[in-house]
Amino acid sequence: MTTPVWIAGVGMTPFGRHRGKSVGDLTRWAVADALRDCGATAGGLDAAFFGTATQGPLEGQHMVPGQIALRAMGVQRIPVVNVENACATGASAFALAVDRIRAGAADVVLAVGVERMNVGDPARTMAVFDGAYDVADPAALARTLLDLGGEVDEDGLGPRSVFMDIYAAVARNHMRVYGTTQEQIAAVAAKNHGHAAANPRAHHREPMTVADVLAARRLAYPLTVPMCAPITDGAAAVVVCGEAGLRRLGAAKRVEVRATAIGTGTDRDPRAFEDHQSRSVSARAYEQAGIGPDDVDVAEVHDATAFGEVLQTEMLGLVPPGEGGPAALRGETSLGGRLPVNPSGGLESKGHPLAASGLGQIVELTEQLRGTAGPRQVEGARIAVAENGGGFHRGEEAVTCVTVLGRA
């Protein structure tokens, strides 16, 4: 029988631009809130998994960032393990914390992710993303994008990360295979900007219409700026416990961790969506949780661009293949719809501090299952799923994490 694991406490800074705040400041903010949420103290933790993907290249803190950021708030003596898994760093840290509980090696474990990406040099920040694919063979990326999205001649598109070109190429392949339209992708962005307007911790809180999204500055076709995640600072933290840990803390606001699954890609035809790694990873998570996609009440998926939500809702089986865009246009994935997706506003509106994003999803879904999400609340939510992906390798994300949570 699988050892029960519970989320006992969550904490999260607002996501946005935090001028004057350090990585340590943001870490302590989120961790203090998570500890307070469950009545724990730093001295009561048995282990910590600390995630950051950009502090090394942006600040030069290439090693022991977690030990440095956490010691000042009393996290001492215990194992502190640093985690880097591109944009899936947060969910990976969470899965490692859960695994440590399941292994019987700890009773109370912290997972935290943090980034300070606005360092006053946008070009240096954008260059960070160049390290999230195979730097030894950059020509392979160019060939893959050409195979996926064809050659597109566009001038004057302005600065953007390479991942906007990656998402755009995958989107064009999806448009060719399924007939997905730019308007449908814009509907996802408009929905998520609307959701973020009700989220006080979101980076962008301005509602937008589909027409507003389509009229905005172009990036690589079919993407426009509001379809894409901003450069964001922030931190998120989660305290997980086993049964003994819950008794020790006396935590009452628990949410069950039904499953965590992590996977990497295969040498498949990158144009074939039926073999996408998110399918296999989510299948393992559903099996572990003893549910199917039809049981899910609310989801947070990795929408570094609005197309990411289109793709991942299909790959997770939440909508049929080719229906991610039409479902959004029909309102099915909006709050009040059949299956709300990204009620937080998603990465494109809530913001995307890389290592904090996956844990930010867990924070949102924990609040949904507790019934404390306020105007974003999905009524009657009992089962929640999060998908967090990172990097790019041979036609798909380099890593995908899927988490299933359940109301206690």
Condensed to tens digits (0 to 9), the pLDDT of residues 213-261 reads 999 999 899 999 999 999 999 999 999 999 999 999 987 789 999 999 9
Reply yes or no on whether 195 is catalytic.
no
Condensed to tens digits (0 to 9), the pLDDT of residues 16-60 reads 999 999 999 999 999 999 999 999 999 999 999 999 999 999 999
Across the range 81-103, mean pLDDT stands at 98
Choice among 18, 38, 87, 228 that is catalytic = 87
Condensed to tens digits (0 to 9), the pLDDT of residues 290-315 reads 999 999 999 999 999 999 999 999 99
CA pair distance 55, 165, nearest whole angstrom: 24
Across the range 115-129, mean pLDDT stands at 94
The structural domains of the chain, ordered by start, are 6-120+232-257 (3.40.47.10), 123-231+259-407 (3.40.47.10)
Condensed to tens digits (0 to 9), the pLDDT of residues 281-291 reads 999 999 999 99
Half-sphere exposure of residue 143, counting CA atoms within 13 Å on the CB side? 8
Choice among 174, 193, 352, 393 that is catalytic = 352
Residues whose CB falls within 8 Å of the CB of residue 241, separated by 6 or more in sequence, listed in order: 5, 6, 8, 38, 101, 107, 108, 109, 248, 249, 251, 254
> pLDDT class for 149, splitting at 50, 70, 90?
confident
Q: Which residues of 60-89 are buried (b: 16+ CB within 10 A; e: fewer)?
A: eeeeebbebbbeebebeebebebbbbbbbb
Does the structure show a pLDDT above 60 at 1? no
Does the structure show a pLDDT above 90 at 331? yes
Using N-to-C axis directions, what is the helix angle for 182-196 and 306-315, rounded to 10°? 100
Q: What tokens appear for 294 in the block?
A: 């039809």
Does the structure show a pLDDT above 90 at 268? no
What percent of the chain has pLDDT above 70? 98
What's the pLDDT at 26?
A: 98
> pLDDT class for 408, splitting at 50, 70, 90?
confident
Higher pLDDT, 195 or 393: 195
What's the pLDDT at 394?
A: 84
Condensed to tens digits (0 to 9), the pLDDT of residues 163-192 reads 888 999 999 999 999 999 999 999 999 999
Vertex 48, ends 44 and 51: CA angle to 5°? 150
What's the pLDDT at 158?
A: 67
Q: What global pTM score does this model have?
A: 0.96
What's the pLDDT at 153?
A: 59
Task: List the one residue out of 38, 6, 35, 109 whose CA is nearest residue 406.
Answer: 6
Reply yes or no on whether 87 is catalytic.
yes
